Structure 1
Amino acid sequence: MKKITYFILFTTSFAFAQNPQVAKELVLEGVAFYDEGKYTQAISKYNDALKVDKDNFLALAEKAMTLVTTQNYKESVEICKRALKLHPNEELTMLYVTYGNALDLLEESKKAIKIYDEGIQKYPNHYQLYFNKGIALTGLGENEKAKEAIQSASVLNPNHPGSYNALAILNQSNKIAAIMSACRFLSLDNNSQRSTDNLNYLLILMNKGISKRGENSISISLDERLLSNASSKSIPNNFSASEMVLTLSAALDDDKEFKNDSEVQKFSRKLSILFNSLSETKENQTGYYWEYLAPYFIEMKKQDLVNTFANIAFAANNDKDAIKYLKDNKEKVDAFYKWSNSYQWL
């Protein structure tokens, strides 16, 4: 009788241990805990799922991602290796992202880039692989390669704020490219800490080269390369002419005609001048920023939406004038987002 009892218990246990449906339900419970920020409980549910179905792919993938969140990077790496070996035919895009992130956070950036490249080879249209590869490249100081990877991410997903945030920072040596990147970020996100940081950075860029010297004196500083490159069409992403125009327009902020304007009005005026300059000098220009980002802002100017965008951007600082504008001009704000969301990217 004992033997029969033990046999029944064993077979029941075996059947339960291979139950993918139960495992899936446990994983979903874990995901719910994760979304609530309850990471310990989430991992516990994933472990329960793996007890039910020891090689369950979803449980492995979700546990690996959660371990990155809890800074258990080495364990995450081991689980990613296991999942890739056991489940080569599953959808593995996010597992590659998790794997690369864990390695990068372990300061093994070269290995991380190798993993991202492996993922990109299998999934060439997944923007997060390119974006995270770009971030890993910045850790190695390879900023030009990083920009190329993140540009690819933005083309694959034009609505990914993180790509533009990174490009704004990486393009400090190209003022107009950085300004366009920061502006595109703010068109997607004007209500976060990153949006506040982007706006403050953007305002510094907009006024770069201008300094006050006394009460009524302004000093303008222009890089010599702007003068020598202004008419060149052979240099990719050359915005020398537009940068000079913007610098000169910024010098007028304290002119008697504009000195009583609000900060958002000054910002709007300078953006309009910049975007108009882009339109006038776009012919035969090359490079990602000319071919991909500039047309968006040229069209924004054409649609008479620059002032609305300026107020949307300034809302990131809780600017009282901008907040009032957004409240009083809901139709214009809706029109901006309708245009921006339906804009046809290349």
Structure 2
Amino acid sequence: MRYFSCKLAFTVLFAGLVATAQAQAPDEVKALIKQGVALYDEGKYDEAVLRYKQALKLAPDNFTAQYELAMTYGHLDRHEEVVEICKKLLQDNANADANVYVIYGTALDDLKQPQEAIRIYQRGIKKFPDNGLLYFNLGVTQASTQRYEEATESMQMAVRKNPRHASAHRILALLTAQSNRVPAIFASVRFLQLEPHSKRAIGGLEVLDKLMGKGVHKTGENAVTLNVTPNMLKQMNGKKNQPDNFGQADLLLTMASALDYDEKNKDKSATVRLAEKLTSLCQSLEEQKPENHPGFAWSYYVPYFITLKKAGYLPTLAYLIQAARPGQPEAQQWLEQHPSEVKELQEWSEAYKWPE
């Protein structure tokens, strides 16, 4: 069950599943399903299975009972049974919910059948092209089979369809960290904005720190060495219309990070410096006119962060994404003292219209 709980994070559990079919079911069947869902929510999976089986004895074709049984089997690592139920659901129900494809593909993934899982997710996407969770699951499976370019494209579609899916931003950051630093930074920051206090945020901060400090090394008491990476050179020497070419901004960010060791910045906190570097990065990208540059990050992340900077929220964002950093009470203290600023930032972000 490697990805099961993660992949079902946005699954609509009960209420939204084929409401018409459930409405027609006998009261006893509906009561049994309701009991099963309650037991499932309590983690009592074996007892939930018994309720769903009782319901199916009374109504063998009840869609909701079959779906809930399949999902519960998944948590019990009974993946072969999940596959059999999902096959039947798709055969018998032309209008089967997108979540059937989600748990079907997940079960195949857990059975070490990634190619079959990819096929099921793609079938689901063809039928439900606006379902972000299907793109996310597809991307996870593609990444597990080292199809990184395809996985990146799937994760880009996942965040387009659901801009608040933190896991998709997180994995997109990891997929692009080695090949394209600036998009990876934006994906990392967005993940941390959505999950500033989670356990995963600590790992997210480590990724962001490495990205922000990439190419800068202190080699002596008063000496700093800048390394221009091959990817940076490739982008700077490449065609300007190359998708997601951030060579110029990448170099600027390296130079800005080198200033962390400058005497004039020695008394500034890490959060203040982060805000300054993000501001400098956004300013540079704004001057390059994002609308003139092709690529996912130029059209998706860059306008968001430029608009956020113009609204004056970058300092607040810098503090917010440091919330989980251990041993740095300065950020936590600032957040405790400025709840209205954090609320205003999050409300602004909620209202922001992301490109589809």
Given the two structures, how large is their TM-score scaled by the length of structure 2? 0.88
Choose from 130, 135, 142 the match for 2:140.
135
Q: Secondary structure at the match of 1:317?
A: coil
Query: 2: CA distance between counterparts of 1:228 and 1:30?
Result: 57
Alignment correspondent of 1:192: 198
CA offset at residue 279 of structure 1? 1.1
CA offset at residue 228 of structure 1? 5.6
Q: CA RMSD in A?
A: 1.6
Choose from 315, 321, 332 the match for 1:323.
332
Choose from 282, 293, 300 the match for 1:292.
300
Choose from 138, 156, 159 the match for 2:164.
159
Query: 1: CA distance between counterparts of 2:30 and 2:295?
Result: 47
Alignment correspondent of 1:5: none
> Is the alpha carbon distance of 1:282 and 1:67 closer, same or farther for their aligned partners in structure 2, counting shifts above 3 Å?
farther
2:141 equivalent to 1:102: no
Alignment correspondent of 2:309: 301
What runs of 5+ residues in structure 1 fail to find an aligned partner? 1-17
Q: Which amino acid aligns with 1:110?
A: Q
Query: 2: CA distance between counterparts of 1:37 and 1:179?
Result: 37
Q: Rg bigger for which structure?
A: 1
Deviates more, 1:219-228 or 1:258-267: 219-228
Alignment correspondent of 1:114: 119
2:152 equivalent to 1:144: no
Q: Which amino acid aligns with 1:211?
A: H
Query: 1: CA distance between counterparts of 2:25 and 2:251?
Result: 67
Alignment correspondent of 2:353: 344
Query: Any conservation in 2 of the 1:30–1:43 contact (CA below 8 Å)?
Result: yes
Query: Any conservation in 1 of the 2:180–2:231 contact (CA below 8 Å)?
Result: no
Query: Any conservation in 1 of the 2:201–2:324 contact (CA below 8 Å)?
Result: yes
Choose from 207, 211, 218 the match for 1:212.
218
CA offset at residue 304 of structure 1? 1.0
Q: Which amino acid aligns with 2:168?
A: S
Given the two structures, how large is their TM-score scaled by the length of structure 1? 0.90
Query: Any conservation in 1 of the 2:25–2:62 contact (CA below 8 Å)?
Result: no
Deviations 1:5-61 (A, max 9, x none): xxxxxxxxxxxxx95432222112211222222222222221222122122111111
Deviations 1:237-268 (A, max 9, x none): 11111111111111111211111211211211
Aligned positions, number: 328
Choose from 63, 66, 73 the match for 1:57.
63
What runs of 5+ residues in structure 2 fail to find an aligned partner? 1-23
Alignment correspondent of 1:226: 232
Query: 2: CA distance between counterparts of 1:263 and 1:25?
Result: 56
Describe how 1:37-76 pairs up with structure 2 within 5 A.
37-76=43-82
Query: Any conservation in 2 of the 1:20–1:56 contact (CA below 8 Å)?
Result: no
Query: 1: CA distance between counterparts of 2:183 and 2:25?
Result: 54
Q: Which amino acid aligns with 1:343?
A: Y
Q: Secondary structure at the match of 1:252?
A: helix
Q: Which amino acid aligns with 1:198?
A: G
Deviations 1:165-192 (A, max 9, x none): 1100100211111111111111211121
Query: 2: CA distance between counterparts of 1:134 and 1:227?
Result: 28
